[in-house]
Amino acid sequence: MSDKTKDELLHDHNNDGVNRRGFLKCMAWAGTGAFCVMQGGVLKSYSLSRLSELNTTDANGELSFVQISDSHMGFNKPANPDVAGTLKAAVDKINGLSAAPEFMLHTGDISHLSKPEEFDTVDQILKSAKPKDVFYVPGEHDVLNDDGKQFLERYGKGSKGAGWYSFDKRGTHFIGLVNVMNLKAGGLGTLGHEQLEWMEDDVKHLKSSTPIVVFAHIPLWSVYPEWGWGTDDSAQALAYLKKFGSVTVLNGHIHQTMQKVEGNVTFHTAASTAFPQPQPGKADSPGPMKVPADQLRSVLGITDVNYVQGQHALAVVDSSLA
């Protein structure tokens, strides 16, 4: 995309009706990662490939963090024979951000086949990132063969159930959800009754002015159910968040950036650090998309999020690894 306006998505919830035209659905610029900046009430999203053009007030806020996703360590097919290399490139990108993000979220598919050495490699690579705290939720590739036991042992300290949890950072409430367990034949991602009950209780006592960030692997909105890109019981989870002025939902799984605003909720999916997947319905299947080697890094990326107190939403910036 050559047009800068297409690299920046600004959703202003404070200004009802200006940017919120019912359902705003943006197929964001194929081929970038995301830098998210939370600037009170405004969810901003910048292509990381355009990051150098951002001025500091665009990129700064009270809180900034990075989302990475779908590292698929262990994947070695033609779509990307060097997923360790591209994850390292993502870390370099993160370390190069002008405002050092406070922490990272990894929205799952850390590994490709749930092998211990795959997790080890990711852990090793992420150690060189400036942000030291990483908050994980599992992808379906992280819970193969053992119902997520290994994932919980490695990343689930202090979590509930299959690995869900919440925490607060500078007034923003973060909720990590697990929607890749106990998948049913013919169905989509699922949260399950126990997790939903926990979530209802978790947000019950929060003030409605508290900015909420929900992160989970499979999208919590219906991106493309034909390919399993959605979560069967996500509507229930979102219903618990209706009272909040600012809700941002960050997902992975679909290996491309996409955004949608629905009422008080901004949905955002991050690019993969490993390989791209086709746009919904634009291929026979959601399998890895092979792009020319010199273009691969432009379709992988990271997401940086920045929050400024006093307004209601997050600014999300995607950057490619190119």
Partner 1 sequence: MRRSVFIAGLAAALVLGMGVFGTGRKGSVTRAQQKPSTMEVKIDNFSFGPVTLTVPVGTAVTWTNRDDIPHTIVSTDDPKAFKSKVLDTDEKFSFTFSKPGTYPYFCSIHPKMTGKVIVQ
Tell me which residues touch partner 1 (CB under 8 A): 77-79, 112-114, 140-141, 144-145, 183-188, 225-228, 284-288
Least separation in angstroms between residue 53's CB and partner 1 is: 35
Decide whether 143 or 317 has the Cβ nearer to partner 1.
Answer: 143
- Which residue in 303, 267, 314, 243 sits closest to 40, CA to CA? 314
Which lies closer to partner 1 via its Cβ, residue 147 or residue 201?
Answer: 147
Least CB distance to partner 1 at residue 3 (A): 33
Beta carbon nearer to partner 1, 33 or 288 = 288
Paired strand residues for 106: 68, 136
CB 315 within 8 A of CB 79: no
Task: Enumerate residues 6+ apart whose C-beta is below 8 A from 235.
Answer: none
Contact residues for 187 (Cβ-Cβ < 8 A; gap 6+): 232
* Residue with smaller CB distance to partner 1, 96 or 225: 225
What residues have CB less than 8 Å from 286, skipping those under 6 apart? 227, 228, 229, 254, 277, 278
- Whole-number minimum distance, CB 198 to partner 1, in Å? 23
Alpha-carbon 97 to chain mean position: 18
CB of 151 to partner 1, least distance (A): 14
Judged by CB, which is closer to partner 1: 13, or 255?
Answer: 255
Evaluate whether 313 touches 51 at the Cβ level (below 8 Å).
no
Q: How far is the CB of 250 from partner 1 (least distance, A)?
A: 22
